[in-house]
Amino acid sequence: MALANHLKTKLTSLLARSLVARPARLAGHKPVASITFDDFPKNAWTLGGPVLAHHGVRGTYYTAGGFCGRTVDGAAFYDEGDLTSLAAAGHEIGCHGFAHQPTPSLTDDELAADATRNRQFLQPFLNGGAPVSYAFPFGRVSPRTKRFYASRFKSARGSHCGINIGRVDLAQLNVVSLETRCWNEKAIEADIQRVLHSHGWLILYTHDISDTPSRYGSTPAMLDWALGRVAAARIEVLPVHEALAVALGL
Ligand SMILES: [Zn+2]
């Protein structure tokens, strides 16, 4: 049964990738990069924020409202004060669903309710506005849920490894992971060089930032190294919604 479920998940994921829900061609005027944090653990702001400030860049924090003020499995998540601070510093607050559930497991009605709940939660931190950038919890997408989000956000980010060049799907943008579980400096540097030369869009992502990170997080030194390599390539780093405009040549 576990194998059947695993195969079903794999197939759904493959089908979703083959469905281009928001086709776009990047303008290719210049390369651009974004640094993004998912969920997000409190230290992505308290320890990650200073690293971003050191490099003079702003990031995107994909926020799941259900994690606010909570500690889950020993991991402390952001609170409302963190959202206020990072918004004031010019970082972007993106949407990561409220209950942080894999989207294929929810009906359309449940997806709509979850999206509304997260929008209402985030509104006070967005001057009454709505988030425009979305990231799929766990990167889990089905063709149905991809279509659902394609029409509701300017961009949706998955967790499929890769850079964004030429023809892309704005409903499932690729990422380059900075997580300890797949940390590879050579591969990251190669991706930076490809983005530089092809004028693509590099979207970096991680979760917690700590000297003892989880498998899904990074140390401050790893984050600093990656942003240093992007800076050395003279690629501008912008929050996702601003980088989107640059990438599309708007
Ligand atoms: Zn997540």
Structural domains in the chain (count)? 1
In the reported structure, the alpha carbon of residue 138 is separated from the centroid of ligand 1 by a whole-number distance in angstroms of 5
**Whole-model pTM over 0.75:** yes
The DSSP result for 133-167, as a single string, is EEE-GGG---HHHHHHHHTTSSEEEEEEES-B-SE
pLDDT of amino acid 61: 98
Q: Give the C-alpha separation, 247 to 243, whole Å.
A: 6
10-residue block means of pLDDT along the chain (250 residues)? 79 84 94 98 98 98 98 95 98 97 96 96 96 96 95 95 96 97 97 98 98 98 98 98 96
Beta bridge partners of 104: none
- Is the C-alpha dihedral spanning 222, 239, 247, 28 positive or negative? negative
User: What would the two tokens of residue 109 be?
Assistant: 């009605």
- Cis amide leading into 40 (omega within 30): yes
d(CA 197, ligand 1 centre) in Å: 31
- Residue 86 inside a domain? The answer is yes
Pairing outcome for strands 173-177 and 201-206? parallel
Determine the pLDDT at residue 21: 85
Asked if the structure places residue 40 within a domain, the reply is yes
pLDDT number for residue 77: 98
The CATH number that applies at residue 163 is 3.20.20.370
pLDDT at 9: 83
8 C-alpha to ligand 1 centroid (Å): 21
Q: Are 226 and 175 in contact (CB under 8 A)?
A: no
The CA 61 to ligand 1 mean position distance, Å, reads 11
Ligand 1 centre distance from Cα of residue 66 (Å): 11
CA of 100 to the centre of ligand 1 (A): 6
Domain with 199 in it? 22-247
Q: What is the distance in A from the centroid of ligand 1 to the CA of 70?
A: 14
